[in-house]
A and B are shown apart, each in its own frame.
Chain A
Amino acid sequence: MDARTEELPVAVRAQGLGKSFPGVRALTNVDFDVRHGEVHALMGENGAGKSTLIRILSGVHRADEGTITVTGAAVPFRNGRFPGSPGEAERAGISVVHQEIDLLPNLSVAENIGLGRQRTRFGLLLQRLMRERATAALARLGIALNVRLRLADCPIAVRQMVAIARALDVSAQLLILDEPTSSLDAEETARLFTMLRRLRDGGLAIVLISHSIGEVCSIADRITVLRNGTRVGTWNAPELPPAALVEMMTGRTVTSGERSSVAPAVLPELPALRAEDLACGHVLGPVTLSLHAGETLGIAGLLGSGRSELLRAIFGADAPDGGTVAVKGVRVRPGSVRASIAAGMAFLSEDRARDGVFADLSVGENLLMALQARCGAMRPIPRTEAKAIVDRFIAALGIRAASADAPIASLSGGNQQKVLLARWLAIEPTVLLLDEPTRGMDVGARAEIESLLASLRHRGLALAIVSSELDETVRTSQRVLVLRDRAVAGMIESADVSEGAILALVAHGGDPA
């Protein structure tokens, strides 16, 4: 272990934390400590338990098991084990830097820093004092800013600094930053990191959550990796090269990349789907890709790399800023879902609850919705025909539902996903865009979906699949497009597809490191 960090005193220690939500085990027996004067990165894929851990640390959630101790705390926690409210955590010195969207855009910078801890005289705000304190708090971060400015009028990077100033305005021992760089550009990120290093050198303990491997490797002193709610381990940053970190996060070793089906498909001339220079705000840089009938294109990359945004932009779920999409050589009106569907596209979103499921409606109604929408309101699908289609898909996909009339909310997540997949298969698309099609499914359901997707491909569909499971990508895809930091890091052609090749691109980008 690095001598420098070993000597540092522990600021906050969590022991044996466990937390369950209805139906989900979010954290299991997690030990975690942060020391004064270090930046401690918390890494893990979606659902690894990072958010739960910081929510327990900051008093938003209550742990089921385990304790948290703050070394310098003046008063012990009221329940003796962990902070019972965000206020209590703050008093103990655990301060969370809110994301820029959690600030108050309509109020001044000073109010965003000082509101809730203001001083008053005769019930009136001491506004000058508040402004002075805010100015001082920002000055400590090396920022000179007119604190009377409305927050909405400040650049996003400045808002992020304001959030940090608010967190530091109390006597913080531990600063927690959740994805502070998600809306910053490279220069702004560099400025933020300079500031964080300064705070660290001043003795502050900092926990950083980020999805960008490069960023983490450049600033973190130690790295803790979580996976499926348990701690994989804690390393000094220099001992954990990017490739190894990605391995720890995904739980794959680079060498284990095996492929069951290497089928170099004979591709037709005209691609089923062609996207050119597709860009979408700050979430997706210009991306060009082709997808052929009878082919599965895997889209890999870490969370936040732009992989979901790419599918959404192709389908028109989010209106792209530029670029074109064509299906079988025919251009599709950009940003129009109906045009995309009419052209033969179908899109299964990663967020079932938000983008897919009609919770009020039955399994059958959910299943037929896309088909019905395409037929139009005036041409209801005849009852017998509807029943035939629903029964066929329930049987074909092995949807386990009490009946086609059962509310969809009564189904398990995996079965809901199959219903949504069936919704799109019912319109017989030529291009199927799938975002995390197997998320939240058990091994059996996963295998079923995978074989189903393979059979669809053999029937001539063009599939694009975003997945955070590398093995799944390798098993299902002929080619793999790797995204990194919202841009294409590289395309891996059929013979070369392996977990190692993907991991290398995810970790180091296009240039061989």
Chain B
Amino acid sequence: MNASAMHSWHRWRSAIAWPLVAIVMLLLVNAAFDWTRTGTFAGAFQRGGFLSIVMIDGRPTGAIMDTLSRGATVALLAIGMALVIAGRGIDLSIGTVMAITGVTAAAVVDRGAPGWLAIPAALAAALVCGAWNGFLVTIGRLQPFVATLILMVAGRGIAQALADGQILTFRDPVIEFLSGGRVPWLPVPVPLLVAMLAALVTFIATRRTAAGLLLEAVGSNPGAARLAGIRERLLVFVTYVASALCAGLAGLIECARVRSADPSRLGLSLELAGIFAVVAGGASLAGGRFVLGGAIAGAYLLQTMTTTMYARDVSSDVAPLPIACVILAVCLLGSPRFRSDLRAIVKRGKQ
């Protein structure tokens, strides 16, 4: 291994280390709960325990498998958001794009078209959304959060109009495969496979080309990037398209899971989840360096927190409370002023 590879390996390791440590700690907490509940340490691994993996109907199930499967949604959002944030942007419209994609797919199936046609149609809708965002940011020169806010508002309405204000239910084997499908000889949930595939494609597109490096340069210093002759607008444009495509995949998986598309609830408030995953994965909101592995680890940290809360019977409506607090804490830890305040408090405590 040469020095350069060594260097990026270090970066990669430090980006995913913290989320992974946090995930392991959460798993231990859950195991401890199961221990007190059942009275034996092995309780955690038995049926109903958090760490159990039981074969039902020939496929592995349990809280961990559930986390792996459901976390794919956030992981997909995190991949797109990592790119957007690396270029000093933000995408607040990903939840809405999920809804538009899901409804498009459902509407296409509803009109009798097969799923293999619905999926490209839905992703094309996502592509249009991303191009729209990218256009407003790069050509329209709007602040990213304003530009994507517009789609966030209007997109819900578009989704509702596409669905005629209803929740579209559908049965389609191809789309349903995206959430509940089974791959022979591979006991891995399909959503996880899709997310990993998207991660692999993104990795190749950014790290096997120079696009990732150029994007990091844009995020690190946009003015210098322009003077160095980097096509900074094109790169930023592409990140918004990529983000929308990832959100589109996530939307397809989510509506495949429930075999319906609810235009007003699908993907609601998942924007923050994406941002959290990226920040937890060691990236700065100010742009620059990004590590895809870190963002994905951050996404799974978020999902583990959510699953933990469901396992403790916290309702899905209350679950965002502790998560939002953790998000703020992570962002605060990134603020130099907060760290120095913290040090001052610790020092005073010691005296």
- Given B3, B211, B220, B228, which contacts A360 in the complex, CB threshold below 8 Å? B220
- Given B3, B217, B227, which contacts A355 in the complex, CB threshold below 8 Å? B227
Contact A370 B220 (CB under 8 A): no
**A-facing residues in B201-217 (Cβ within 8 Å):** 208-211, 213-214, 216-217
The residue among B2, B210, B221, B235 with the most chain A CB atoms within 10 A of its own CB is B210
State in angstroms the CA–CA spacing of A337 and B227 once bound together: 6
Contacts of B289 in A (CB 8 A): 360-361
Binds B, one of A160-168, A284-292, A380-388: A380-388
Contact B208 A380 (CB under 8 A): yes
Contact A358 B3 (CB under 8 A): no
A-B contact pairs, 25 of them (CB 8 A): A315-B227, A337-B226, A349-B227, A355-B223, A356-B227, A358-B216, A359-B288, A360-B216, A360-B220, A361-B217, A362-B7, A369-B214, A369-B217, A370-B229, A372-B214, A373-B229, A373-B230, A373-B231, A374-B229, A377-B214, A377-B235, A380-B208, A380-B209, A383-B2, A405-B7
A156 contacts partner chain B, Cβ-Cβ < 8 Å: no
State in angstroms the CA–CA spacing of A315 and B211 once bound together: 25
B117 contacts partner chain A, Cβ-Cβ < 8 Å: no
Contacts of A338 in B (CB 8 A): 229, 231
B237 to chain A, nearest CB (A): 12
Across the interface, name the chain B residue whose C-beta is closest to A312: B227
Number of A-B contacts (CB under 8 A): 88
A395 to chain B, nearest CB (A): 16
B4 contacts partner chain A, Cβ-Cβ < 8 Å: yes
Across the interface, name the chain A residue whose C-beta is closest to B230: A373
Contact B3 A354 (CB under 8 A): no
Contacts of A387 in B (CB 8 A): 2, 4
Q: Which residues of B contact A (CB under 8 A)?
A: 2-4, 6-7, 208-211, 213-214, 216-217, 219-221, 223-231, 235, 288-289
State in angstroms the CA–CA spacing of A377 and B225 once bound together: 13
Contacts of A377 in B (CB 8 A): 209-211, 214, 231, 235
**B-facing residues in A284-324 (Cβ within 8 Å):** 315, 317
- Given B3, B225, B230, B235, which contacts A405 in the complex, CB threshold below 8 Å? B3
User: Given that A341-B229, A364-B4, A378-B209 are contacting pairs, would A356 and B224 also be in contact in the complex, using a CB cutoff of 8 Å?
Assistant: yes
A389 to chain B, nearest CB (A): 13
Contacts of A146 in B (CB 8 A): none
A384 to chain B, nearest CB (A): 9
Contact B231 A372 (CB under 8 A): no
Contacts of A315 in B (CB 8 A): 227
A357 contacts partner chain B, Cβ-Cβ < 8 Å: yes
Contacts of B220 in A (CB 8 A): 358-361
Contact B229 A337 (CB under 8 A): yes
Across the interface, name the chain B residue whose C-beta is closest to A384: B2
State in angstroms the CA–CA spacing of A315 and B226 once bound together: 12
Contacts of B235 in A (CB 8 A): 377
Contacts of B3 in A (CB 8 A): 403-405
By size class, the interface of chain A is 35 or more
State in angstroms the CA–CA spacing of A315 and B229 once bound together: 11
State in angstroms the CA–CA spacing of A380 and B215 once bound together: 13
A336 to chain B, nearest CB (A): 10
State in angstroms the CA–CA spacing of A356 and B208 once bound together: 25
Contacts of B6 in A (CB 8 A): 405
Seed contacts A338-B229, A357-B221, A358-B216; 8 additional CB < 8 Å A-B pairs: A337-B227, A355-B224, A356-B227, A372-B210, A375-B210, A377-B214, A380-B209, A405-B6
A50 contacts partner chain B, Cβ-Cβ < 8 Å: no
B281 to chain A, nearest CB (A): 15
A128 contacts partner chain B, Cβ-Cβ < 8 Å: no
State in angstroms the CA–CA spacing of A355 and B226 once bound together: 9
Contacts of B230 in A (CB 8 A): 369, 373
Across the interface, name the chain B residue whose C-beta is closest to A372: B210
A207 to chain B, nearest CB (A): 33
Contact A347 B211 (CB under 8 A): no
State in angstroms the CA–CA spacing of A193 and B316 once bound together: 70
Across the interface, name the chain B residue whose C-beta is closest to A405: B7
State in angstroms the CA–CA spacing of A358 and B289 once bound together: 10
Contacts of A380 in B (CB 8 A): 208-210, 213
Contact B227 A347 (CB under 8 A): yes
A236 to chain B, nearest CB (A): 44
Contacts of A349 in B (CB 8 A): 227
Contact A405 B4 (CB under 8 A): yes
Across the interface, name the chain B residue whose C-beta is closest to A364: B4
Contacts of B288 in A (CB 8 A): 359-360
A365 contacts partner chain B, Cβ-Cβ < 8 Å: yes
Across the interface, name the chain A residue whose C-beta is closest to B8: A405
A405 to chain B, nearest CB (A): 4
**A-B pairs with the 5 shortest C-beta distances?**
A360-B288, A377-B211, A405-B7, A380-B210, A360-B220
Across the interface, name the chain B residue whose C-beta is closest to A376: B210
The residue among A372, A381, A387 with the most chain B CB atoms within 10 A of its own CB is A372
State in angstroms the CA–CA spacing of A379 and B231 once bound together: 14
- Given A359, A369, A383, A404, which contacts B228 in the complex, CB threshold below 8 Å? A369
Contacts of B2 in A (CB 8 A): 383, 387
- Given A341, A359, A423, which contacts B221 in the complex, CB threshold below 8 Å? A359
Contacts of A365 in B (CB 8 A): 213, 217
Contacts of B209 in A (CB 8 A): 377-380
B75 to chain A, nearest CB (A): 24
Contacts of B7 in A (CB 8 A): 362, 405
**B-facing residues in A377-419 (Cβ within 8 Å):** 377-381, 383, 387, 403-405
User: Given that A369-B217, A372-B213, A404-B3 are contacting pairs, would A354 and B228 also be in contact in the complex, using a CB cutoff of 8 Å?
Assistant: no
State in angstroms the CA–CA spacing of A423 and B217 once bound together: 14
Contacts of A362 in B (CB 8 A): 7
State in angstroms the CA–CA spacing of A208 and B173 once bound together: 79
State in angstroms the CA–CA spacing of A405 and B208 once bound together: 18
Contacts of A376 in B (CB 8 A): 210
State in angstroms the CA–CA spacing of A360 and B216 once bound together: 8
- Given B4, B208, B229, which contacts A404 in the complex, CB threshold below 8 Å? B4
Contacts of A354 in B (CB 8 A): 221, 223-224
- Given B4, B217, B229, B231, which contacts A358 in the complex, CB threshold below 8 Å? B217
